[in-house]
């Protein structure tokens, strides 16, 4: 089986996966790095896209061994190599990364390189997406430093004496404060459903929660909340615009929720912020329409050259062409206005946002394309990092000397064949195989001892 041109043979699954990826017009990408996998640093790359059956897909395209140095430039060159292997260098919509300094340098290098060939929408304005799970973790860890001594005291003393009611109340308050962080991290770390439309509402809830605890009567809780809020403002003083688009494209929320959320945070600036987000979404719609015109127009080499007499257009004809182009550019904006004018869908746990947009593909084709691309954006790198989490199962002590190409083949094939489904069953089967192999070896050892 050939996995990204690394093995001599190619299966039908490879061709199908390559065809699926190549058919996607814009691809949100997710990259994660691990320093210790079989004693070698590796990097996993996952594209996210909505397939022809309107299901969110996330496949590992590469699980590459990274030779030092692990600088941002070297990482970017490795990623560009993968882009070229798969022919997707002109289809990258966004890239989701954690907060490592090398990743910041890498995304800047990638953005500059892709801008040269005009491969990014709106000059890469929404190219870089920070991993929300990593940011939430950094925020909480900063706050826990403030209360670490108090928590340590309770842990150490609980076996010998009962903490006071004040101490128990403090712990209860801490749990109430931190539990939403845990729940939200689990929610946005999913990979079998869109998460970009969850970002705005969940981050807004966190900010509202922090504001309420800033006035806590307990000075320790107040200090902790202040520290967390400072870290929060460092990353999210301004919410991600592209992920605000995802909230607008969620028919259970739309622009009304964005206005409502901003009004709760700052009534004086809420209207201006809402208008700004809407204006930028209209700009993105226009960009998509222009790209559709570009893709649909024949190349200049295929166009028939008209005689000079036919090339001399009158002023009226030129004005008409300009009018027609303007009308075409307004298509995306018109679709957006029509969508926003529709009644908001009732929110429910079983609501399928991709199924909703599937039904609108004929009525609003441009807006549907935008929705598919934006809703495919992963807001965490958890799905990519899961490739390293399963490495202990795939690369056991019995199979720890495989070549880099073989390791990549196993992990990519597993991702392509099973996707989000049946992975728990696959993992349990692998665990059982390993346990069986270990018990067989143990019994053989005992038998050998008895013979001697």
Same domain, residue pair 255 and 330? yes
Residue 27: which CATH number? 3.30.420
pLDDT in tens, 15-47: 455 555 555 556 666 665 554 444 454 555 556
Q: Is 308 part of any domain?
A: no
Same domain, residue pair 151 and 266? no
Same domain, residue pair 260 and 366? yes
Same domain, residue pair 46 and 102? yes
pLDDT in tens, 99-146: 888 889 999 999 999 888 888 888 889 999 999 999 999 999 999 998
Same domain, residue pair 392 and 372? no
Same domain, residue pair 336 and 265? yes
Q: Give the distance, in angstroms, between the CA of residue 250 and the centroid of all CA atoms in the same chain.
A: 17
pLDDT in tens, 350-393: 899 999 999 998 889 999 999 999 999 999 887 665 555 554 45
What's the predicted TM-score (pTM) here? Answer: 0.76
Q: How confident is the model at residue 448 (pLDDT cuts 50, 70, 90)?
A: very low
Q: What is the pLDDT of residue 99?
A: 84
Same domain, residue pair 156 and 171? yes
399 neighbors 407 (Cβ within 8 angstroms): no
Comparing CA positions, the residue from 176, 100, 179 lying closest to residue 135 is 100
Same domain, residue pair 256 and 376? yes
Domain around 32: 12-131+382-421
How far is Cα 201 from Cα 191, in angstroms, rounded to an integer?
18
Q: Is 449 part of any domain?
A: no
* Final residue belonging to a domain, choices 192, 216, 232: 232
How far is Cα 380 from Cα 97, in angstroms, rounded to an integer?
8
* Final residue belonging to a domain, choices 180, 197, 232: 232
Same domain, residue pair 98 and 43? yes
Query: Of 241-245, 254-258, 279-283, 307-311, which range is least confident?
Result: 307-311
**103 CB-near residues (< 8 Å, 6+ apart):** 31, 33, 72, 75, 97
Q: Is 302 part of any domain?
A: no
Q: Is 32 part of any domain?
A: yes
H or E stretch covering 431: helix 423-451
Q: Is 4 part of any domain?
A: no
Comparing CA positions, the residue from 162, 194, 200 lying closest to residue 49 is 194
Highest mean pLDDT: which of 10-14, 33-37, 338-342, 384-388?
Answer: 338-342
Same domain, residue pair 185 and 246? no
How far is Cα 129 from Cα 132, in angstroms, rounded to an integer?
9
**What separation in angstroms does the CA of 200 have from each of 262, 318, 352?**
10, 44, 18
Comparing CA positions, the residue from 351, 332, 340 lying closest to residue 291 is 332
Same domain, residue pair 161 and 187? yes
Q: Is 83 part of any domain?
A: yes
* Final residue belonging to a domain, choices 232, 252, 270: 232
Number of domains in the chain: 3
Q: Is 450 part of any domain?
A: no
168's tokens: 């128990």
pLDDT in tens, 190-208: 878 899 999 999 999 999 9
Task: Determine the average pLDDT of the residues in 423-436.
Answer: 49
Comparing CA positions, the residue from 209, 220, 211, 217 lying closest to residue 147 is 220
Secondary structure (DSSP) of 223-263: HHHHHHHHHHHHHHSS--HHHHHHHHTSTTTHHHHHHHHHH
Q: Is 431 part of any domain?
A: no
Same domain, residue pair 223 and 266? no
């Amino acid at each position: 089986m050939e996995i990204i041109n690394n093995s001599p043979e190619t299966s039908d699954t490879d061709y199908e996966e390559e065809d699926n990826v190549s058919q996607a017009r814009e691809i949100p990408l997710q990259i994660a790095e691990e320093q210790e996998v079989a004693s070698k640093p590796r990097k996993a790359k996952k594209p996210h896209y909505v397939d022809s059956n309107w299901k969110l897909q996330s496949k590992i395209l590469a699980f590459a061994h990274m030779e030092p140095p692990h600088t941002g430039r070297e990482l970017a060159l490795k990623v560009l190599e993968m882009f070229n292997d798969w022919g997707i260098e002109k289809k990258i919509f966004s890239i989701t990364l954690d907060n490592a300094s090398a990743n910041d340098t890498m995304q800047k290098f990638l953005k500059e390189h892709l801008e040269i060939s005009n491969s990014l929408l709106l000059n890469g304005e929404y190219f870089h997406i920070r991993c929300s799970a990593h940011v939430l973790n950094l925020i909480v860890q900063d706050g826990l430093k403030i209360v670490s001594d108090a928590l340590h005291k309770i842990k150490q003393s609980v076996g010998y004496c009962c903490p006071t009611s004040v101490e128990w109340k403090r712990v209860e308050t801490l749990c109430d404060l931190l539990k939403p962080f845990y729940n939200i991290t689990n929610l946005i770390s999913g990979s079998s459903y869109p998460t970009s439309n969850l970002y705005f509402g969940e981050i807004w809830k966190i900010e509202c929660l922090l504001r309420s605890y800033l006035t806590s009567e307990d000075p320790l809780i107040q200090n902790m909340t202040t520290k967390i809020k400072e870290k929060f403002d460092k990353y999210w003083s301004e919410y991600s615009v592209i992920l605000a688009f995802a909230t607008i494209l969620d028919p259970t929320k739309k622009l009304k929720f964005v206005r409502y959320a901003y009004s709760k945070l700052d009534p004086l600036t809420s209207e201006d912020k809402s208008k700004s987000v809407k204006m930028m979404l209209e700009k993105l719609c226009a960009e998509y329409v222009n790209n559709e015109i570009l893709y649909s127009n024949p190349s200049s080499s295929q166009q028939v050259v008209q005689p000079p007499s036919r090339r001399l257009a009158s002023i009226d004809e030129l004005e008409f062409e300009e009018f027609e182009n303007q009308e075409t550019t307004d298509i995306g904006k018109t679709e957006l206005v029509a969508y926003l004018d529709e009644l908001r869908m009732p929110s429910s746990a079983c609501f399928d946002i991709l199924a909703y947009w599937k039904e609108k593909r004929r009525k609003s084709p441009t807006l549907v394309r935008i929705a598919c691309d934006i809703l495919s954006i992963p807001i965490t790198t958890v799905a990519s990092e899961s490739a390293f989490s399963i490495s202990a199962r795939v690369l056991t002590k019995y199979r720890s000397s495989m070549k880099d190409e073989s390791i990549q083949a196993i992990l990519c094939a597993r991702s392509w064949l099973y996707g989000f489904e049946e992975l728990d069953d696959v993992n349990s089967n692998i665990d059982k195989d390993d346990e069986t192999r270990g018990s067989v070896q143990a019994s053989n050892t005992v038998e050998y001892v008895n013979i001697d």
